[in-house]
Amino acid sequence: MSEFQEKLAAWQEKVKKAVTKFPERKERFATSSDIEVQRLYTPKGQEQQEYLEKLGFPGEYPYTRGIQPTMYRGRYWTMRQYAGFGSAEETNERFRYLLKQGQTGLSTAFDLPTQIGYDADDSMARGEVGKVGVSISSLQDMETLFKGIPLDKVSTSMTINAPASVLLAMYIAVGEKQGVSSDKLTGTIQNDILKEYVARGTYIYPPKPSMRLITNIFEYCADKVPNWNTISISGYHIREAGSTAVQEVAFTLSNAIAYVQAAIDAGLPVDKFAPRLSFFFNAHNNFFEEIAKFRAARRIWAKIIRNRFKAEDPKSWQLRFHTQTGGSTLTAQQPDNNIVRVTIQALSAVLGGTQSLHTNSRDEALALPTEDSARIALRTQQIIAYESGVADTADPLGGSYYIESLTDEIEKRVWEYIEKIDEMGGAVAAIEQGYMQREIQNSSYQTQMAIESGKETVVGMNKFKLENEPQPELLRVNPELGRIQAERLAKLRSERNNEEVQKRLQALKQAAEGQDNLMPYILDAVRAYATTGEICNVMRSVFGEYRPSLF
C-alpha cells in the first residue's frame, strides 16, 4: 500500500467518526442527472505524492481543503446575518424576524457610542445613538436585546472590540438571568484591537492595556465560558480600508501572532486558548482569488501555530473563520446590482470553506438594510446551500491548476509580509511605525485611481450608468432615540443601588491598577447595573486613551 493509500484509509476512518457525530444531510448525494457525488475528489497516479505534500485531506493538517473531514455534507455553514440598529427593542424584533426566516446564528452590530465606551446620554454620543448599530448602555438594554431568545439555543456573535470585556460580561449576566450557565453559552466576540489601530478606529486604550484585557478574556473564558470564541481576528476591516487580498491575510495573521505571543507571555499554555481563536475575513469580487485566499490562510495558520508556537492539539492548528461579503464593493448607484455582487462573494466564501457567513444587503451603501433587503440577503445563502450543489463535496475546486497556483502564490506573498513584520519587531511595532497603515493606504489609493480612470470597471457606477435611477425605500432610525435612551438611563440610575455600583467600580479600579484578571470585576459591576460608560471610564482613568501618531 502506498503512502497516499495509507493516508486515504486513515482519512476515511476519520470520516466514519465524523458521520457518527454529524450524520450527513442525505443518504446519497447526486447531480440532477443522477451522477453520484463523492465526499472528496483526489488525483491519480504520480500526482498523488505532490497532493499529500501540499494539500492533504479535509480535516487534516495543513487544512488546505477544509477543517472538517466531511465539510458541508454533515451540516451547512452558520448563516449569521449581521443586525443591529436603534433601540434594543427594535433590534430584538429584527433578530426574531431573521430567526423566523431561517437564520441559524445571531450577529450583533453596536452603535458607535457603545463601540467606543460611551453611554447614550454622554455628550460624545450626541447624534450617533442607534445609527450604525444597537445602543447598549447597560445590562438592562442587553436583557431587552435578547428578550425571548434562549441563549442556550442560539450562537451569538458580537462585533465589539475595545469594550468587548464589558459586552461579554453583559451577555453572561443575561444568561444567568435566563438560568443559562456560562459554560452553555456559544458565540464570538470580535475583541481584535490591533486592527482598530490599523484600519477601523474604534479603540479606547493604548495597545499594552488593550492586550491585557484581551488575554484576561482568553484566561477567563478558558475556565468559565469554554464554548465561547474569545477573539475573531479580523481581516475584514483591513480589506474594507483598501488592502489587497494578500495584505488582508498577512496583516491578520501577523496580528494573530501578536495575540498568541501575548497570551503565552501572560502564562497561558497555547493549547488552552488556541482552539477558541477564530478569524473574520472579507469576500470581494475577484472570485478565484478569494477562494484561493481562504485556502492559503488555513495552510499558513496551521504552519504558524504548529511550528512556531509548538501547539500539539490539532484543534489549535485549525483556522476557523467567519466571512462577510464586501461592504466597500457595494454601490449606491443601481443598488439591485449589489445582489449579484453579494452572490458571487458568498459563493467564493463557501467554495473556500467558511464556517459561517453574512451576506450584505443590497441597500447598505445607502442606509441600514430594510427587512426586505435583509431577507433577500439571507435567501442568497439559502439558495447557495440548498439549490446549487456546491456543498455536496469538500473543496470542489481543489486540484484546479488555476486555484492551486493562486493558492501557492498568495501563500508565498503572505509569508514575505509576515517575515518583514517579524523583522520590524512584530505586529504592534509595525502598527506603531505606521507600516501596515501605509501599505493599506497605498493599495486603497491605487484602487481608487483605477476606478476613477476607468481602468477598473464598476458596473452601474463608472460604466453602464442610468440617467434617472429610481430611489429605493430606505430604513430610517428614530431621530428621538438619543433622548429616549437618555431618559431610560436616568431612570435606571435613580432605581439601582448606586452605593453598590460605586463599590464595585472602585474594586475594578484597584484591580486595573494591579495585575488581577479584570473580567470578574467587570462582571460584578455589570450585575449591579453599572453602565458601559461608567465601566470604560474607570479603565480610562487608569489606562489612559490612545492617541495615534501622524506618520
Location of C-alpha cell 456559544: 186
Number of domains in the chain: 1
Given a cut of 70, whether residue 220 has pLDDT beyond it is yes
Give the whole-number percent of the chain exceeding pLDDT 70.
100
- What pLDDT score does 364 carry? 95
Given a cut of 60, whether residue 179 has pLDDT beyond it is yes
**pLDDT (tens digit, 9 = 90+) per residue, 54-71?**
888 999 999 999 999 999
Whether residue 141 lies inside any domain: the answer is yes
**What confidence category does residue 238 fall into, taking pLDDT thresholds of 50, 70 and 90?**
very high
Q: What is the mean pLDDT of residues 31-41?
A: 97
- What pLDDT score does 2 carry? 84
Whether residue 163 lies inside any domain: the answer is yes
- What pLDDT score does 507 carry? 98
- What pLDDT score does 256 carry? 98
Given a cut of 90, whether residue 81 has pLDDT beyond it is no
Whether residue 512 lies inside any domain: the answer is no
User: Which residues, at least 6 apart from 379, have a Cβ–Cβ distance to it below 8 Å?
Assistant: none
Whether residue 123 lies inside any domain: the answer is yes
Q: What is the mean pLDDT of residues 181-202?
A: 96
Whether residue 134 lies inside any domain: the answer is yes
- What pLDDT score does 442 carry? 98
Distances (CA, A) of 104 to 77, 155, 247, 381, 415: 9, 8, 31, 11, 35
Beta-carbon count within 10 A of 224 CB: 16
Q: What is the mean pLDDT of residues 284-292?
A: 98
**pLDDT (tens digit, 9 = 90+) per residue, 128-157?**
999 999 999 999 999 999 999 999 999 999
Range of the domain at 332: 77-389
Whether residue 397 lies inside any domain: the answer is no
Whether residue 333 lies inside any domain: the answer is yes
Given a cut of 90, whether residue 1 has pLDDT beyond it is no
Range from 10-14, 285-289, 321-325 carrying the lowest mean pLDDT: 10-14
Whether residue 149 lies inside any domain: the answer is yes
Given a cut of 60, whether residue 223 has pLDDT beyond it is yes
Task: Supply the mean pLDDT for the chain.
Answer: 95
Q: CA-to-CA distance for 472 and 463, rounded, in angstroms?
A: 21
- What pLDDT score does 72 carry? 97
Can you spell out the DSSP letters for 209-237?
Answer: HHHHHHHHHHHHHHHH-TTEE-EEEE-HH
- What pLDDT score does 551 carry? 55
Given a cut of 90, whether residue 409 has pLDDT beyond it is yes
User: Which residues, at least 6 apart from 406, have a Cβ–Cβ distance to it below 8 Å?
Assistant: 288, 289, 291, 292
Give the whole-number percent of the chain exceeding pLDDT 90.
91
Given a cut of 90, whether residue 44 has pLDDT beyond it is no
The model's pTM: 0.94
Q: What is the mean pLDDT of residues 226-238?
A: 97
Enumerate the β-bridge partners of residue 134: 86, 110
**pLDDT (tens digit, 9 = 90+) per residue, 459-509?**
999 999 998 888 888 988 888 999 999 999 999 999 999 999 999 999 999
Given a cut of 80, whether residue 550 has pLDDT beyond it is no
Given a cut of 70, whether residue 440 has pLDDT beyond it is yes
Q: CA-to-CA distance for 508 and 61, rounded, in angstroms?
A: 43
The domain that holds 92 is classified in CATH as: 3.20.20.240
Residue among 427, 417, 433, 406 nearest 249 (CA): 417
